[in-house]
Amino acid sequence: MGPTTETRVQETWLAVLTGITRFEGRSSVKTWIFKILTNRAKTRAIRERRTINFSELEDPKEPDQPAVDPSRFLPVAHPTHPGHWASPPEAWSASAEDAVVGREMMRVLQRELERLPPGQRIVVALRDVHGWPAVEVMRVLQRELERLPPGQRIVVALRDVHGWPAVEVCDVLGLSEANQRVLLHRGRSRLRGVLEAYFAENA
Amino acid sequence: MNDDTPREMACQELVDVITAYLEGTLPDADRSRFDAHLATCSACQEYLEQMRALVRLTGKLSPRSLEPATVDSLLASFRRWRDSQTRL
């Protein structure tokens, strides 16, 4: 962890501790601390004139990307099926469900793995755990989540990874309900596309 | 088709409003068109299932915002702050 992170952490604590008398229990402590973190980051970005563009969060008007490549649909002028799938999605939702179950099994496996002697543990981990499809899917998903534009990434992370309700995400990020949904939609649509490509390659 | 008949939802429109549908914020008229389309289109049924599967899968990612190192650092600076208070 670099000195910058350390400073930021210190600043956050200072803000938390000096502001604790102002905390009136209207929001959860989690939401409240997160709000302080984002405000600190905004102040810092302005002060340092950094290129981080927080307006990106408020204004999801980045180059508009359709949820699905338009070439996969029949043209609107099509006589019988305008706008219908020309190249429908291949079925993989069941495989993704397997990965969800696999993830649960992973947790159990990991706990058992910790109990093995170090030599055995590393061999089992490298040979059996890393090659497991469920692990691979999660890795792909994690990597792609990190590649999303900042606004989409933070909204998808808070909504789908952390499981926050929409209203809380709007609150801490200062987003309108509509903009929050646009960011969520773009982020999820892109991730679905990535998984579709992944399952097509690894079917 | 007379003018009162709501326009049938096409697959391309469905994928654009799917998040509003899942969020429960789609207006009633559009929700009915969505459901009507879904009832007859297996490709869109699969698409919807994929979105749901994606959300469940994403929910299994471990939250990275507070990595152990960050938590340690937070706790360390908290202890420093606390110690500086008791010394006063």
- Tell me what pLDDT residue B52 has: 94
DSSP conformational letter for A60 = -
Query: How much is the pLDDT for A53?
Result: 45
The pairs formed by B22-30 with CB atoms below 8 angstroms and a separation of 24 or more are: B22/B51, B22/B52, B22/B55, B23/A166, B23/A181, B23/A184, B25/A177, B25/A181
Residue of A169, A185, A191 to mutate when probing chain B, most B C-beta within 10 A: A185
Mean pLDDT score, A13-42: 58
Nearest CB neighbour to A93, from listed B11, B50, B81: B50
Average pLDDT over residues A16-39: 57
pLDDT exceeds cutoff 80 at B19 = yes
* C-alpha distance from residue B15 to each of A69, A149, B22 (Å): 11, 20, 11
Confidence category of residue A65, pLDDT binned at 50, 70, 90: confident
Question: Tokens 């909204």 sit at which residue?
Answer: A155
Q: What pLDDT was estimated at residue B35?
A: 97
The string of pLDDT tens digits covering residues A107-153 is 666 666 677 666 666 555 555 555 556 667 888 888 898 888 878 88
Nearest to A164 by CA among A32, A54, A31: A31
Q: Which residues pair with A73 in a beta bridge?
A: A85
Is the predicted pLDDT of residue B2 greater than 90, yes or no? no
Distance CA A121, CA A123 (A): 6
Nearest-5° Cα angle at B35, B33 to B37: 65
Which H or E element spans position A16? helix A3-19
* More confident: B18 or B72: B18
**For range B24-36, the mean pLDDT:** 96
User: Is A52's pLDDT higher than 50?
Assistant: no
CB-based contact B51:A190 (threshold 8 Å): no
Contacts of A156 in chain B (CB under 8 A): 58
pLDDT mean across residues, chain A = 73
Nearest CA in chain A to B17: A185
CA distances from A188 to A39, A109, A157, A183, A199 (A): 26, 29, 10, 8, 16
> What average pLDDT does the segment A45-72 reach?
62
Report the C-alpha gap between A30 and A41 in whole angstroms. 17
Return the closest-CA partner of residue A89 out of A15, A201, A197. Answer: A197
- pLDDT of A157 reads 86
Note the pLDDT of residue A69: 92
Residue B1 has pLDDT above 50, yes or no: no
Q: What is the mean pLDDT of residues A76-93?
A: 90
**Min CA distance, A140 vs chain B (Å)?**
11
Q: CA A159 to CA A155: how far, in whole Å?
A: 6
Q: Which residues pair with A157 in a beta bridge?
A: none
Task: Tell me which of A21-30, A62-71, A78-87, B42-51 is least confident.
Answer: A21-30
Give the pLDDT score at A75: 93
Q: Does pLDDT of A13 surpass 90?
A: no
Mutation target among A11, A85, A95, A198 for the B interface, most CBs of B within 10 A: A85
pLDDT in tens, B45-76: 999 999 999 998 898 887 654 444 544 554 55
Helices A3-19 and A29-47 meet at what angle, rounded to 10?
130
What is the distance of C-alpha B36 from the center of its chain? 23
Determine the distance in angstroms separating the CA of A6 from the nearest CA of chain B, rounded to an integer. Answer: 7
Name the percent of chain A lying above pLDDT 90: 22
Query: Which position has the higher pLDDT, A131 or A68?
Result: A68
Q: Which two tokens stand for residue A150?
A: 């900042």
Residues of B contacting chain A (CB within 8 angstroms): 10-13, 15-16, 18-20, 23, 25, 41, 43-44, 46-47, 49-61, 63-65, 69-70, 73-74, 77-78, 81
Between A88 and A130, where is the model more confident?
Answer: A88
Residues B67-87 have a mean pLDDT of 54
Residue B8 has pLDDT above 90, yes or no: no
Going from the C-alpha of B29 to that of each of A53, A67, B6, B18, B33, the distances in angstroms are 37, 22, 8, 14, 6
CA separation for the pair B26, B18 (Å, rounded): 9
- d(CA A145, CA A138) in angstroms, rounded, equals 10
